[in-house]
Structure 1
Amino acid sequence: MFEPLIGQKQAVELLTQAVKQNRVSPAYLFVGADGVGRSLAARCFIELLFSTSVQPHQIQTLKNRIRQGNHPALFWVEPTYQYQGQRLTAAEAAEKGVKRKAPPVIRLEQIRAITQFLSRPPLEAPRNVVVLEQAETMAESAANALLKTLEEPGKATLILIAPSPESILPTLVSRCQKIPFYRLDTASVTQVLTQTGNADVLLHPEVLSLAAGSPGSAIAAYQQLQTINSELLQQVTKTPTSYRNALELAKKVDKELDTEAQLWLIDYLQQSYWQQIHKRSIIEQLEKTRKNLLSYAQPRLVWECTFLSLLQISQLR
């Protein structure tokens, strides 16, 4: 079941033995960097777990149902945006062209839906399974509500996916079995990108460097790169040449990119500027930019201050 997952032998062994020995934990915490296979591992684990209750000839149908999200014993939760009274995932928001002003979060209403889901006995599976992607985005009220569920999960297993144990409440961590995931070496990243039909990413070394051993992050970065006007990208990867140029760049970034794209651009610029100039002060300035955007400061003003600071730094060379 774990064939699609590359380079995570420890995680595969722990999860495989849990099913084999019938010692599946009520809760797991999959920790590691984005894009190293945590969600894929969760899907493979669920396929293995649910396959114990079906005939061999039914396994492919089972896999298809899990991948399509229509298995009655599986509830998959993603962070959402609130838009016109609706909750939208990142993919749904992008499809609708919603301008995202803040990162998505897992909301209290979603935790309540989990509780309702787990109140029913498992259908067509040995137990119900709930997956929470980006569990670190839970608001405190949502995390506290989830804690009550973890205390009495019933015949169920919850899988929380987060970058590190420190990113979620300690009380949640204490109730989960931790499964670590690691960044991949260059050969493994290349293998993943090739097998998944994303070999074009390999043509962009700056994206691979930005991903730092995470194939999923490399793919996401490449996809984000394609959405940004190439002329704008060329302009912002060079330090401003004048005060007027700095203000013009700030105006373009604010006008053309939503907040999430701006946050991604900060990572890209840090990588790009470091390769060009090797100045810590530029990296620190861009970190201030990130902090201000996350604090909901007016984006155009934030970028004006950023590019004016970069102009001053460049003039000191």
Structure 2
Amino acid sequence: MKTIISHQDNLSFLINAAKKNRIASAYLFTGRKGVGKFTVAKSFANTLTKNPMADIHIVAPTYTEDGEILTIEEAFEKGLNKRTKPVIRIEQIRDLDGFISRRPLGISNNYGFPSKNIVIIDDCQELKEDSMNALLKNLEEPGAHTVFILVASGKVSDTISSRCQVLNFSRLSKENLLEIAKINFLDINDNILNICDGSYGDAIAIKAVLEEVPEQIICSASTIPTKVIDCLQIARDISALSSSQQIVLMEYAVSMIWMTYFNMGFVTIFNDSINKLKSGMQSRLTLEALYLSLLNT
């Protein structure tokens, strides 16, 4: 398997299973999004066949537009602004029938045993009910040549998990995050590390959001104002951002505030305001109240 940072217990378990040809018919990788589950799934799949282009089939949540099923990437490329969550549809599960019924095209895997057909289902917590029922039939009768690897960052039904070998993936340590970032030539600072909650995927997303926010707004959001007019200006600037940018910025500001002032009172006030923003409360009023309250703290 390729070099992977962290999750060594899970990696050792999977490698030993492959070496001894004791492969389960289905695995379920659980844990926080962005910690490397899908990366491990792809790497493990590559050890089970020498013909990955033909013998690995990946299923992920999709959108529909005018009757056409679109991946998340395809929807983005078409400029579609979808408000609903992408889901895994029954058509995607039915499309697996031909794949899992044939013999693998690879003759052997990396350890000399017969190749497998590998189905990776990413974000399987997004299975629609009819899709889940269709998948259950495949999990109950997978065939000798097929391995399912389900990847989940949310709740999966017991009927699915009970048919799988379950491996839990923990959050990444700060050291792991920095090592992965270095390998990928990504510069992430301590404040991003503090708020990404052990998820490299979130660290990338946070950095991307912050790069769209003017540096002056980031600085002012992370300082304690001394004048009422400054409080109102900061609130005005932040409320002009998108709601997702506001939340990321304020979470980043909490980390900067703590590392600058080491004042739990400030942190509590910020966190209360962030929760209000997440609940949909009017952002400008919420932010004005936040920064005005700091004047008296």
Whether TM exceeds 0.5 here: the answer is yes
User: What CA distance in whole angstroms lies between the structure 2 residues aligned with 1:232 and 1:169?
Assistant: 46
User: What CA distance in whole angstroms lies between the structure 2 residues aligned with 1:182 and 1:111?
Assistant: 28
Distance 1:217 1:245, change over 3 A: closer
User: What CA distance in whole angstroms lies between the structure 2 residues aligned with 1:81 and 1:158?
Assistant: 23
Alignment of 1:158 with 2:151, yes or no, is no
User: What CA distance in whole angstroms lies between the structure 1 residues aligned with 2:202 and 2:64?
Assistant: 25
User: What CA distance in whole angstroms lies between the structure 1 residues aligned with 2:33 and 2:59?
Assistant: 16
SS of corresponding position for 1:28:
strand
- How far did residue 174 of structure 1 move? 0.7
- Give the counterpart of 2:205 among 204, 207, 220: 220
Distance 1:191 1:274, change over 3 A: closer
- How far did residue 16 of structure 1 move? 0.5
Equivalent pairs, count: 273
Distance 1:269 1:81, change over 3 A: farther
User: What CA distance in whole angstroms lies between the structure 1 residues aligned with 2:46 and 2:193?
Assistant: 30
- Give the counterpart of 2:99 among 97, 101, 117: 117
- Checking the alignment, whether the CA contact within 8 Å between 1:286 and 1:306 is kept in structure 2 is no
TM-score when scaled to structure 1? 0.74
Aligned sequence identity (%):
30
Alignment of 1:266 with 2:247, yes or no, is yes
**Mapping for residues 215-294 of structure 1, pairs under 5 Å:** 215-226=200-211, 228-230=212-214, 234=218, 237=221, 241-242=231-232, 250=239, 252-253=240-241, 257=242, 262-263=243-244, 265-273=246-254, 275-276=256-257, 278-280=266-268, 282-287=270-275, 289-290=277-278
User: What CA distance in whole angstroms lies between the structure 2 residues aligned with 1:48 and 1:18?
Assistant: 11
Query: Which 5+ residue runs of structure 1 have no aligned equivalent?
Result: 52-61, 293-301
Report the equivalent of 1:297.
none
Report the equivalent of 2:260.
none
User: What CA distance in whole angstroms lies between the structure 1 residues aligned with 2:141 and 2:249?
Assistant: 43
SS of corresponding position for 2:58:
strand
- Checking the alignment, whether the CA contact within 8 Å between 2:210 and 2:249 is kept in structure 1 is no
CA RMSD of aligned residues (A): 3.0
Distance 1:230 1:101, change over 3 A: farther
- How far did residue 189 of structure 1 move? 1.8
- How far did residue 41 of structure 1 move? 0.8
Report the equivalent of 1:168.
156
**Mapping for residues 63-212 of structure 1, pairs under 5 Å:** 66=52, 71-124=53-106, 126-154=115-143, 155-163=145-153, 167-198=155-186, 200-201=187-188, 204-212=189-197
User: What CA distance in whole angstroms lies between the structure 2 residues aligned with 1:245 and 1:195?
Assistant: 37
Report the equivalent of 1:308.
285
Larger of the two Rg values belongs to structure: 2
- The structure with the largest helix share of the pair is 1
User: What CA distance in whole angstroms lies between the structure 1 residues aligned with 2:221 and 2:89?
Assistant: 36
User: What CA distance in whole angstroms lies between the structure 2 residues aligned with 1:287 and 1:263?
Assistant: 13
**Mapping for residues 37-48 of structure 1, pairs under 5 Å:** 37-48=36-47
- How far did residue 75 of structure 1 move? 0.8
Query: Which 5+ residue runs of structure 2 have no aligned equivalent?
Result: 108-114, 258-264
- Checking the alignment, whether the CA contact within 8 Å between 1:210 and 1:268 is kept in structure 2 is no
SS of corresponding position for 1:14:
helix
| 1:140 maps to amino acid | E
Distance 1:150 1:100, change over 3 A: same
* Residue-by-residue CA offset, 1:252-309 (whole Å, 9 max, x unaligned): 44xxx5xxxx44653442342465364446535534544x5xxxxxxxxx46x23323
User: What CA distance in whole angstroms lies between the structure 1 residues aligned with 2:183 and 2:200?
Assistant: 11
- How far did residue 80 of structure 1 move? 1.8
Report the equivalent of 1:56.
none
Distance 1:13 1:97, change over 3 A: same
User: What CA distance in whole angstroms lies between the structure 1 residues aligned with 2:220 and 2:89?
Assistant: 35
User: What CA distance in whole angstroms lies between the structure 2 residues aligned with 1:100 and 1:235?
Assistant: 32
SS of corresponding position for 1:36:
coil
| 2:177 maps to amino acid | V
- Greater Cα shift, 74-83 or 93-102: 93-102
